[in-house]
Amino acid sequence: MSDGTLTPEALAQRAKLNGVELWALTDHDEIGGQQRAAAAAKAEGLHYLTGTEISVTFAHETVHIVGLGFDPNDAAMHAGLLATRGGRGARAREMSAQLEKVGIKGAYEGALKYVGNPELISRTHFARYLVETGVCRETHEVFRKYLTEGNPGFVPTRWASLRDAVHWITDAGGVAVIAHPGRYKFTPSEEYALFTEFKTHGGQATEVITGSHTAAEFVKYAETAKEFGLAASRGSDFHSPDESHTDLGTLPYLPGDLTPVWELIASRIQYASAH
């Protein structure tokens, strides 16, 4: 529903084929796909947890907080996500104006073709347009040359606060998870502050095994999880067969000495009748 290219049904099928047993669809700032994903999971014989990935601003950097196992009908969660999405349309127009100045025309309309809903327009959609029009060969090249800090098309944005995001998730009965901590450009003290404040607000888990981490980061964040007493999560961050390096269900298992995040929300798992 946000910046992936497959439908929830196609994702469920792919997850099943790849040997996934427990799945969560985690659209950015959006939970409109949860019913379809849960139904598709059931049809495929997959266990399901509700999911989302909330954009947060922390120490001048964008951090993603994954929510798992929350009530998808929670009113405060809906309102919070709606507000978080609200800035995307205006931001996209500014991104487009910047790109225009370096000779790239029609980027807003071009990106919008890939998403339909301006509320959900993201840098990924701009990246697809820049590949489509031959400005770059692939999306990773786009993020090296455009849309990132110091490059044309980067528009700093104020997302949700860490406190609000963690509260929306936990107040709705879910567990908050720091997404791909290895991806942020934090100093050691900023990273320490992120984990400390996250814990203070009620956050309970961190991704350890993710498509965005190197093998060294698997080890580093396993240690960080233990140091902060956090459960561990495993996520592919899969977006598209054409763009993602990590497919669903292909990452290594979590280290055995960590608490898997799903143990904290076992009662929230929607079990498939057959598996």
Q: Footprint of ligand AMP on this chain (CB under 6 A)?
A: 3, 28, 55, 122-124, 139-140, 143, 239
Query: Which of residues 65 and 222 has its CB atom nearest to ligand AMP in the complex?
Result: 65
Q: How far is the CB of 91 from Mn ion (least distance, A)?
A: 15
Per CB under 5 A, the segment of 1-9, 37-45, 76-84, 182-190 that binds Mn ion is: 1-9
Query: Please, which residue, 115 or 194, has the CB nearer to ligand AMP?
Result: 115
Minimum distance, C-beta of residue 246 to Mn ion, in the bound complex (Å): 13
Minimum CB distance to ligand AMP, residue 273 (Å): 33
Phi-psi region of 76 (alpha: psi -120 to 50; beta: other; left: phi over 0): alpha
* Alpha carbon distances (Å) from 179 to 145, 213, 272, 274: 24, 10, 26, 30
Tokens 């298992």: give the residue. Answer: 253
Q: Which residue is nearest to Mn ion (CB)?
A: 3
Smallest separation (angstroms) from ligand AMP to the CB of 4 = 9
CB of 215 to ligand AMP, least distance (A): 19
Q: How many chain residues are in contact with Mn ion, going by CB under 5 A?
A: 1
Quote the CA–CA distance of 179 and 237 in Å, as a whole number.
9
- Only one residue has tokens 């998730």, namely 169
How far, rounded to the nearest angstrom, does the alpha carbon of residue 101 sit from its chain's CA centroid?
Answer: 30
Pairing type for strands 231-235 and 205-210 reads parallel
State which residue, 16 or 123, has the beta carbon closest to ligand AMP.
Answer: 123
Residues 60-119 touching Mn ion, rule: CB under 5 A, are none
Return the structure tokens found at 226: 């233990």
CB 208 within 8 A of CB 221: yes
- Please, what is the minimum distance in Å from the beta carbon of residue 123 to ligand AMP? 4
Nearest residue (CB) to Mn ion, 3 versus 29: 3
Please state, in angstroms and rounded to a whole number, the distance separating the CA atoms of residues 167 and 266. 20
How far is 57 from 90, CA to CA, in rounded Å?
17
Give one word for 160, left, alpha or beta, with left for phi > 0 and alpha for psi -120 to 50. beta
**Closer of 132 and 263 to ligand AMP (Cβ):** 132
- Give yes or no for residue 29 binding Mn ion (CB under 5 A): no
Q: Using CB distances below 5 to 8 A depending on partner kind, what does residue 55 bind out of Mn ion, ligand AMP, none?
A: ligand AMP
